[in-house]
Amino acid sequence: IVTAAHCFDGRNYNPADRRIRAGTTLRNEGGVVVPVLREFNHPTYGFNGNDGDITVVRLGSILNLGGTIQQASLMASGFVLPGGWPVTAVGWGTISGGICIYPLQSCKAVSTQSVDYDVCRQRYGSLASNPPVTKNMMCIGNLFEGGEDACRGDDGGPIFYQNIVTGIVSWGSGCGDRNFPGVSMQISSYVDWIVATAV
């Protein structure tokens, strides 16, 4: 399992509280629940803003593939998704930028597009309080209209181009903001480490 490192870090993190539910789009029912044996945060996590915000999760029991449980393909090493390509963000986060007291109970997907790296970096460079957008990150959203983006609670979820995982939701300034796209870890920057760590 690949997700965001900040989901497995912090003062409120307790390994005993983590488990994986697979084979359902519902948050608290259906599918199969397996315990987390161990997580491996990327070695650069926490040293350069949000860079390295990616983790490999080793499961405590076997997850049998088939039916509604499938393995995803990861983007090839070194491939950078150009701006304007169609992508899909998936997660249980809020569906608007407002405050959400309760997370969604059903997984949602939103279709949006990749944002050019240099444009994204320049946008966030105008905000002194945000960490840098590095070459290990990719951005998604609609800079002309806003509205389509990952949001609060989607952290650690996948960004797909077709059926290939291209990113892992990490951070951003608001949700669906036409000025500031969502920022994800770019899988192609980490795929070699992911494969080496997962085996």
> How much is the pLDDT for 102?
53
* Helix count and strand count (H, E) for the chain: 2, 11
Coil/strand/helix, residue 198: helix
Question: Do 91 and 15 form a contact (C-beta atoms < 8 A)?
Answer: no
Closest to 76 (Cα-Cα) out of 181, 190, 171: 190
Q: C-alpha angle 109/42/140, rounded to 5°?
A: 30
Length of the chain: 199
Question: Do 92 and 153 form a contact (C-beta atoms < 8 A)?
Answer: yes
How far is CA 86 from each of CA 14, 38, 49, 133, rounded to the nearest angstrom?
36, 34, 27, 21
Q: Classify domain 2-69+190-198 by CATH number.
A: 2.40.10.10
> How much is the pLDDT for 32?
95
**Superfamily name with CATH number, domain 73-189:** Trypsin-like serine proteases (2.40.10.10)
pTM: 0.91
pLDDT tens sequence for the chain (199 residues): 999 999 988 777 777 778 899 999 888 899 999 999 999 999 999 998 899 999 999 999 999 999 999 999 999 999 999 999 999 999 888 776 555 545 667 888 999 999 999 999 999 998 888 789 999 999 999 988 877 888 888 899 999 999 999 999 999 988 888 889 999 999 999 999 999 999 8
Sheet strands (E) in the chain: 2-3, 19-22, 32-41, 55-59, 73-74, 86-91, 108-115, 137-140, 158-161, 164-171, 182-186
Output DSSP code: residue 5. G
> How much is the pLDDT for 96?
66
Burial of 47 (0-12, 13-18, 19+ CB in 10 A): exposed
Region(s) of the chain under CATH 2.40.10.10: 2-69+190-198, 73-189
